[in-house]
Amino acid sequence: MSEKFTKISRKNIIDKIYTDEEIIKSSSEKDISYYSDNLFFDRILFNFDNNRYANSLFINEFKNKEYSDVLNNTNIKFDFDKACIYLSEGDSFGEYNSVDIYTHEHKSSSLNNFFLLVDQDIPKGSEVIYYLITDKEQTFQIRANNTVPYTIQKEEDIPKTVKIRAKIWSNLAGESPKINAIALLYNDDFTEAQMGLINPDLGRLPNTEYPDLNDVTTILRDSKNDDKLIKVSSANEDVLLNYSEEGNLDTINIYETVSGDKKEDIYLIYDDYENSDKEVEKVLMQVISKKK
């Protein structure tokens, strides 16, 4: 029987351990914050150690302003005793920005496959939306605590550095969300190359002796194009789906995952068709396959 893991928030910890009012009064906020941050740190390391897509990580537990772009934050209050951020009193909206995130100060390397992990308390009716801001001045919305990596598809859009942006709204009662800690797991090309030389990860390669490594299929969609399916990846092959200006699936390209060699091109041909209502519409008429 597989083990079940339940996310524990800072509020759960405080409610469970500090149930006696006298204990709450005698316990310092710093001690509670320290305990909660340690749990978050352990959670991040567990996710990092068991993640086949990420090889680098960034963590900000808001113990100071070191990893925050203070000059570009709006209406954000830093509470170092509780180690969290929230909206300044009286403000209904604010924006938080981290510093630029990169792995190697002296190495220019591409970053991709992002996982955003967050410890947060969101009162009912309030909201936090997270974004990745790239050095190419592009903005990508990213879900917090998602188990599927956010992958930037176009090669020309893949960044060398990113920053995390959080847009925060309070509810009608004026209650603000609180972000207690934030982490970004991602894949760095330079790190990947070094790891491959020193300790190759066989789990990233197709291996018929270990079929359990080959049963993961990742499906990717384009949020900028009506959430259309654009890529299906497995241990053996990558399938890229391309669309015409009219929005129809146009061509399908199939590549070997490891070598990157193209295996096959599939062309979908559309033409006029008179349906049963005597209306003419464009429908799929032919599928042409060209193997490499």
What are the structural domains, with CATH classification, of the chain?
10-196 (2.60.120), 206-291 (2.40.128)
- The sheet with strand 127-134 has its strands ordered as 93-97, 162-169, 127-134, 139-142
pLDDT tens for the chain, 292 residues long, are 444 444 444 455 445 444 445 444 445 555 555 555 677 777 888 888 877 888 899 999 998 999 999 999 999 999 988 889 999 999 999 999 999 999 887 667 899 999 999 999 999 999 999 999 999 989 999 999 988 889 998 888 999 999 999 999 999 999 999 999 999 999 998 887 776 544 444 444 444 443 444 456 777 777 777 778 888 877 678 888 888 888 888 899 888 766 677 888 999 888 888 888 888 888 888 888 888 7
| pTM, rounded to two decimals | 0.59
State phi, psi for 92 to the nearest 5 degrees. -100, -10
Q: What is the pLDDT of residue 181?
A: 92
Whats the size of the chain, residue-wise? 292
Q: What is the pLDDT of residue 40?
A: 78
Q: What whole-number distance in Å separates Cα of residue 202 and Cα of residue 194?
A: 14
Q: What is the pLDDT of residue 58?
A: 93
Q: What is the pLDDT of residue 108?
A: 77
Q: What is the pLDDT of residue 37?
A: 62
Query: For tokens 């190759």, what's the residue?
Result: 200
| DSSP three-state, residue 290 | strand
Q: What whole-number distance in Å separates Cα of residue 49 and Cα of residue 41?
A: 12
Q: What whole-number distance in Å separates Cα of residue 120 and Cα of residue 122?
A: 6
Q: What whole-number distance in Å separates Cα of residue 203 and Cα of residue 184?
A: 22
| DSSP three-state, residue 247 | coil
